Structures are given as structure tokens and as C-alpha cells.
Homo-oligomer: A and B are copies of this chain.
């Protein structure tokens, strides 16, 4: 009843009002002004649902996050998402987040989401190798942008941190600090970044001609609990590592807790490093040596790629982002061989 009312009020047709409101050129400027003014006064606001139905666009970008039912949004994506959302908001798009639970069928949830008309595009996080979600999105020609690279991805649909380089650098640095026994608590290997990181770690180890005990290379979820268990396992080996690299800061925190519980002094007896530079990582004790990247740029990059896709924008976007080591206390400086 609304544009209709406005039109009636002005003695114009719906079409003219619609055109005036939506910035079309074929409208008399004076008419447009009148319409805009009246709309202002009456407090007219277009009904987005109707707009959506008529135009087929929603101006929403969606993301489906796995809720391990303990947290809604993991720290890993929190900052990137904030940046992505802010950039989108500035272009009059909203980021909307929903969750998927373990008891739900992933393909179904994604399909419902993209076919709901709720969103014009989706972000994918925790990209997996040969990700079935992406296969589905492709099949339905639905716009998507991934955080995480996999083979054959095209530059218009992903951003990623150079995880291989990051863990190569991190590993190499620890080697230069004197470490020869370096463990790596990696994330689940199905995630694309896990393999990339493993590659960086292995390369640095090989180049330094260090042997890699396969028992030092474990995989687990990105949380404190899993990390504690893996750390206990590793530290009970006869050949203990003097350094533990972790896939993120929550794991580093768990690893630190496990070491402390075993009476090792982190930062002295053993070095531990994480990834992600979470909010709290500079405040824990010891504070966590970690790897950070520009979450703002990454988030904006995702949004730019999305707008390039759905609005034919021409934003220049970097696909790859560099990570930098942040040295903190969980690091050891002077390693005096104590094994």
C-alpha cells in the first residue's frame, strides 16, 4: 500500500515514483525532488521484501558458521568478519550470519540458505579440500568468496593468508633460535590451510636437515582442550620437543596450560607459538608468540571480491596476504639444550 499511497498522495503513478526514488535518469528533476521531499515527509520506506521479490536482490551477504555449540563465532574469524561486515555496510550491504549445528545436514543448510532469497552471495570459511559446498554453489551459479585457497580456485573467488610461508618463517625462526625438536599441532587436515601450513613446516625442517618425528605432527580441532591432550601426548614421549607450534592461539593456550601442568616453564624450558593473534594473546601469561595478518585487509578483500561478483565492481584485490611473526613471552630466546 505504500508506494501506491505515496503515488496517490502526489498525483503520480507508482512507476514514476519508483523511478524517481531509485535514481533513474528518465525522470523530470522537479518531479524527483517533489517525490523525494514527499517521501521524506511521509516517512516512506520501501519494503525490502517486496523489493527483493520484484528485483531478485537482497543486498545481504551471508555466512554460515559452524557452532560447536560452545561458541557462536570463533575468534579465528571474528576480526575478519568484523572488517568484512563494515566494508559491506559502507556499500549498503549487510552481512548476515547464521550457524550450522552438527545435527544438521550441511548441503541442505547451505542450499536452503542460498535458495531462500535471503542473501545475494555467501562467504565460505574453513575451506576444505574439494569442498562439497563449493561444488554445490558452482552448480547453482551462486556467488561465493572463500577464505582459504584450494587447487583450481580462480582469483575472483578467494583470499587467503600465505600459510605455507607463515609456517615456513615461523619454523625457520625457531630453528635459528636453536631448536631442533619442533612439534606441530596442526588443525584438521581436511582444511586447506592445514596442509599449507604443514608444507611450510616440513620445508623449513628439511632445509635445516632436521629429522621429523611423525609423532610430533598431530592434528586436532582449534580449541584448548584438544591442544592439551595432544601436548600431553607429545610431552610424554622419550624424545620431547623443545618447541611446539600450534595452529592457532587457542591451541597455544591449551598447549601452554598442559606444559605448565607438567611443570615445564613455557618461555624457558619450551617455546610455544600460535597463530591468529587473538584478542587475549597479548595478555595471557606468558603472552603468546603468534603469527598475525591484516584482518582488516583480508575482510575487506573478501567483501570487495563479493561486490566485484555481484555488482560488477572493479575493486583491485590481493588474493594473498602476508603473515608476520609477533614475538612474545611464550618464545624461548636462549636455548641451552635441556632435553
Stretch at the interface among A113-121, A142-150, A162-170, A233-241: A113-121
How many angstroms from the CA of A58 to the CA of B98 in the assembled complex? 14
Identical copies in the complex: 2
- How many chain A residues sit at the interface, stated as a range, is 35 or more
Closest chain B residue, CB of each to CB of A116: B48
Q: Which of B52, B72, B283, B286 contacts A85 (CB 8 A)?
A: B72
Q: Which residues of A, 82-139, contact B by the 8 Å Cβ criterion?
A: 82-83, 85-86, 89, 94-99, 101, 104, 112, 115-118
> For the complex, is A262 an interface residue (Cβ under 8 Å from B)?
no
> For the complex, is A29 an interface residue (Cβ under 8 Å from B)?
no
How many angstroms from the CA of A82 to the CA of B81 in the assembled complex? 17
A→B interface (CB under 8 Å): 45, 47-50, 52-53, 58, 60, 67, 69-73, 75, 77-79, 81-83, 85-86, 89, 94-99, 101, 104, 112, 115-118, 223-224, 228, 250, 253-254, 256-257, 260, 279-280, 282-286
Q: Check A86–B98 contact: CB distance below 8 A.
A: no
Q: Check A72–B82 contact: CB distance below 8 A.
A: yes
Q: Which of B48, B70, B77 contacts A117 (CB 8 A)?
A: B48
Q: Check B70–A85 contact: CB distance below 8 A.
A: no
Q: Check A97–B94 contact: CB distance below 8 A.
A: no
Closest chain B residue, CB of each to CB of A99: B85
How many angstroms from the CA of A127 to the CA of B125 in the assembled complex? 31
Residues of B close to A67: CB separation below 8 A: 82, 85-86
What are 26 A-B pairs with beta-carbon distances under 8 A? A47-B115, A49-B58, A49-B116, A49-B117, A60-B118, A67-B85, A69-B82, A71-B78, A72-B77, A72-B78, A72-B81, A72-B82, A85-B99, A85-B101, A95-B98, A96-B96, A96-B97, A96-B98, A97-B98, A224-B280, A224-B283, A253-B280, A253-B283, A253-B284, A256-B285, A284-B285
How many angstroms from the CA of A78 to the CA of B72 in the assembled complex? 5
Q: Which of B58, B112, B260 contacts A285 (CB 8 A)?
A: B260
Q: Check B47–A117 contact: CB distance below 8 A.
A: yes
Residues of B close to A60: CB separation below 8 A: 118
How many angstroms from the CA of A256 to the CA of B253 in the assembled complex? 16
Q: Which of B50, B96, B279 contacts A71 (CB 8 A)?
A: B279
